[in-house]
Amino acid sequence: MAAVILVTNDDGVHAAGLDALAGALDELGEVYVVAPDREQSAVGHSLTLHRPLRVTQVGERRFAVNGTPSDCVNLAVLGLLPGRPVLVAAGINHGSNLGDDVTYSGTVSAAMEGTLLGVPSMAVSQADAGTAGFEGAALVARLVASRLLVEGLPAKTLLNVNIPGGTAGGIRMTRLGHRVYRDKVVQEVDPRGQPYYWIGAGPPEWAEDEASDIAAVQRGLASVTPLHLDLTHYGALGRMGDWEGSLNALLKKWPR
Ligand code: MN
């Protein structure tokens, strides 16, 4: 049996970027598409645990799920696919997922879910997806996936790939950039006189960092950032060793 590759996204099963990614990886294995039945952008890593998930076959090796990107990966890897996939690829997202934004991204979360399930995983996103086609992004995705399938990835590590609008002038290995929040929340009043708020209204601002993913994409390069899912800060854990003694001393003094 050919190696199974799972392709998913957060823009929904009918998104053009999903087709582009499935097509790009077609030569590398038997591609199965399991994707949300509607757009699920910015849902983060949420899982649906309190209602049943329904799967609808919408084509050959192609399934729609009434859930989140992480639901799709979990469901596919742990049940739906005929074998364990050699790769989980999420995207091509319509819009970049750079820097701190990866924590909100449904696309990156799908790749995180694959990683947590022990499958080498990558997220692929394209800036300015409305104007440019996906051909350039698909080529970068195929090149990165080919290398990933040969080399593997360290434990708990995934790749976050971003492609600028149009054709990438090159590919750069990067680290995550950092978003700076300067804008305040927008507060307006609705037609019934009630206040409402709008977050994320202004254009994103980024800290200056030439080694970052955002800098690469701004220079017209594709970025490949390895992300690590062990979120423990071992340095802090070492430095904060004395917290344990003092917190326990306080806890003992508390009447129970
Ligand atoms: Mn999206």
How far is the C-alpha of 245 from the C-alpha of 46, rounded, in Å?
Answer: 35
Mean pLDDT of 220-237: 96
The pTM (predicted TM-score) of the whole model is 0.92
Answer for the pair 36, 65: CB distance below 8 angstroms, yes or no: yes
Mean pLDDT of 45-70: 94
Angle (CA) 103 14 58, round 5°: 115
Task: Tell me the pLDDT of the chain averaged across its residues.
Answer: 94
How far is the C-alpha of 70 from the C-alpha of 48, rounded, in Å?
Answer: 9
pLDDT value for 62: 98
| Upstream peptide bond of 5 is cis (omega within 30 degrees of 0) | no
pLDDT tens, residue by residue, 109-129: 999 999 999 999 999 999 987
106 band by pLDDT with thresholds 50, 70 and 90: very high
Res. 173: pLDDT tops 80: yes
Q: Position 3: which residue type?
A: A
- Residue 189 Cα, ligand 1 centroid: separation in angstroms? 29
Phi/psi of residue 142, each to 5°?
Answer: -65, -40
Closest CA to 26 of 60, 63, 53, 72: 60
- Residue 91 Cα, ligand 1 centroid: separation in angstroms? 8
- Residue 79 Cα, ligand 1 centroid: separation in angstroms? 25
How far is the C-alpha of 222 from the C-alpha of 169, rounded, in Å?
Answer: 8
Neighbours of ion ligand 1 (CB under 5 A): 10-11, 41, 93
Phi/psi of residue 79, each to 5°?
Answer: -160, -45
- Residue 106 Cα, ligand 1 centroid: separation in angstroms? 7
Give a three-class secondary structure readout of 174-209. CECCCEECCCCCEEEECCCCCEEEECCCCCCEECCC
pLDDT tens, residue by residue, 24-39: 999 999 999 999 999 9
- Residue 252 Cα, ligand 1 centroid: separation in angstroms? 49
Annotated domain spans of the chain? 4-178+208-230
- Residue 251 Cα, ligand 1 centroid: separation in angstroms? 46
**Residue 125 tokens, joined:** 């996103």
Report CA-CA distances (Å) from 227 to 51, 113, 195.
31, 13, 39
Pairing status of strand 121-126 against strand 205-206: unpaired
pLDDT value for 185: 86
- Residue 191 Cα, ligand 1 centroid: separation in angstroms? 30
Domain 4-178+208-230: give its CATH architecture: 3-Layer(aba) Sandwich (3.40)
**DSSP per-residue codes, 136-181:** HHHHHHHHHHHHHHHH---TTEEEEEEE-SS--S-EEE-B---EE-
Phi/psi of residue 21, each to 5°?
Answer: -70, -45
- Residue 235 Cα, ligand 1 centroid: separation in angstroms? 34
**Residue 46 tokens, joined:** 């949420």
Cβ neighbors of 142 (< 8 A, separation 6 or more) are 24, 25, 27, 28
